[in-house]
């Protein structure tokens, strides 16, 4: 049984679990085939995605090896991947933003109508903002680079905050195992190194 005083602790534990799960998500394994395709096919062909020709250049990874018929499979796959990413990203962020505002004390958690209004406003405005960005800067590679750099710089902040919150604010009764702490610390160091290299070789 848990008392009312345990609610913040359980909320923190839930957040830590979600954060740790995200850190261990095998992103590298899922994306490695695309890197290998790009290096093995596009590099050998001397092609580099840029500007409005990005989609046609990327499709060459498949059409040059499988034939012209694979363009339709590539197009369908690209649509579903991008659509699902947008759907999950916007939907998730639409719930996170009100939580941030609540944690900052801008309005109480019990104000459900205001939380719903923030969520609905975000899921409407975010895709429109993305569309305006593409209309103003019609360069997919540049826009993806901005998003990737931002995400890469945020990852060590997230894992570092996880370690700090675990050490300073998480109830000892629900602390993760030592192996999990070591794994998160290792990931944090790796992400910090990658963020530094990104700043050195991409930003500057």
Confidence check: pLDDT of 32 > 80: no
Residues in Cβ contact with 48 at an 8 Å cutoff, skipping those fewer than 6 apart = 42, 57
pTM, full prediction? 0.64
What's the N-to-C CA distance of the chain in angstroms?
54
Q: Of 180, 189, 150, whose CA–CA distance to 13 is shortest?
A: 180
What are the tokens at 96? 């996170």
Share of the chain above pLDDT 70, in %: 81
Pick from 28-37, 107-116, 172-181: least confident: 28-37
| Nearest-angstrom CA–CA distance, 9 and 174 | 9
Cβ neighbours, 10 Å, residue 94: 19
Chain centroid offset of residue 40 CA: 26
Q: What are the tokens at 126?
A: 């975010």
pLDDT one-digit tens code per residue, 94-115: 988 898 889 888 989 899 999 9
Q: Which residues contact 18 (CB under 8 A, 6 or more apart)?
A: none
């Amino acid at each position: 049984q848990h008392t009312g005083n345990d609610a913040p602790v359980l909320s923190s534990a839930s957040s830590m679990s979600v954060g740790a799960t995200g850190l261990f998500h095998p992103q590298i394994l899922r994306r490695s085939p695309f890197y290998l395709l790009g290096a093995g096919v596009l590099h050998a062909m001397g092609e580099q995605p840029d500007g409005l020709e990005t989609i046609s250049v990327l499709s060459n990874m498949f059409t040059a090896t499988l034939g012209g018929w694979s363009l339709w499979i590539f197009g369908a796959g690209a649509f579903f991947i991008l659509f699902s990413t947008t759907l999950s990203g916007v939907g998730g962020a639409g719930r996170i933003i009100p939580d941030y505002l609540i944690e900052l004390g801008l309005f109480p958690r019990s104000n459900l109508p205001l939380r719903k209004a923030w969520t609905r406003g975000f899921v409407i405005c975010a895709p429109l903002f993305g569309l305006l960005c593409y209309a103003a800067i019609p360069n997919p590679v540049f826009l993806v680079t901005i998003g990737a750099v931002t995400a890469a710089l945020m990852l060590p902040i997230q894992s570092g905050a996880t370690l700090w919150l675990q050490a300073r604010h998480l109830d000892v009764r629900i602390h993760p195992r030592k192996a999990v702490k070591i794994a998160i610390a290792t990931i944090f160091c790796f992400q910090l190194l990658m963020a530094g290299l990104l700043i050195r070789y991409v930003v500057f």
